Amino acid sequence: MASPEIEALTQALARLPGLGPRSARRAVLHLIKKREVAMAPLLRALEQVNERLSTCSLCGNVDTSDPCAICADPRRDTRLLCVVEEVADLWALERSRLFPGRFHVLGGRLSALEGVRPEDLAIDTLVTRIAAGGIDEVVLAMNATLEGQTTAHYIAERLEGLPVRLTRLAHGLPVGGELDYLDEGTLSAALKSRTAF
């Protein structure tokens, strides 16, 4: 029987996505056994991220600086903007290393069922950002779900009349698929063969 402190740690870990009570117990045992090489670096990393965590005021990415590392990178193609639902989607595309432009995180998708309206998402800031000029192409990289596509269509309507080319991810995106769960090959194929929206 573990102490209340160890039990609390186990329960906190078990609530993380992808873990569960069983994996959490294994993780805790590992941390206890490898205190110096596993627990200490984990503690330091958690503290540092927690202290510096911020949301990028330009794109909505989560990083330890504002603007985030992507927005601050001078090698990025500022004429190319990729719109995603969540930070997880941005990170998934970033892992593929194929998108040279910048991003815009909506913070969700339109959903009548869950009561998510346009004003709940970063859509106004997206329109403002694009209306300010300097962007040639906007990639609508919403998930291939009904709600994702509804969101993409709504954004396309809002951007009507602005001098930008709208494209979307194509090829290999499974219907109902979420970007975060795709392997990098599928994701890079979808990005390479993006089509006009």
- The radius of gyration computed from the CA coordinates of the chain, to the nearest angstrom, equals 20
Q: What is the DSSP letter of 116?
A: B
How deeply is 106 buried, as exposed, middle or buried, from its count of CB atoms within 10 A (0-12, 13-18, 19+)?
A: buried
Based on CB atoms, which residue is closest to Zn ion, 23 or 65?
Answer: 65
Based on CB atoms, which residue is closest to Zn ion, 11 or 57?
Answer: 57
Cβ contact 25:2 at 8 Å: no
To Zn ion, the closest distance from the beta carbon of 135 in angstroms equals 14
Cβ contact 93:141 at 8 Å: yes
To Zn ion, the closest distance from the beta carbon of 105 in angstroms equals 8
Based on CB atoms, which residue is closest to Zn ion, 56 or 144?
Answer: 56
Based on CB atoms, which residue is closest to Zn ion, 90 or 152?
Answer: 90
Footprint on this chain of Zn ion (rule: CB under 5 A): 56, 58-59, 61, 67-68, 71
To Zn ion, the closest distance from the beta carbon of 40 in angstroms equals 31
- H helical segments located in the chain: 4-14, 21-33, 40-52, 69-72, 87-96, 123-131, 146-158, 184-192
To Zn ion, the closest distance from the beta carbon of 101 in angstroms equals 12
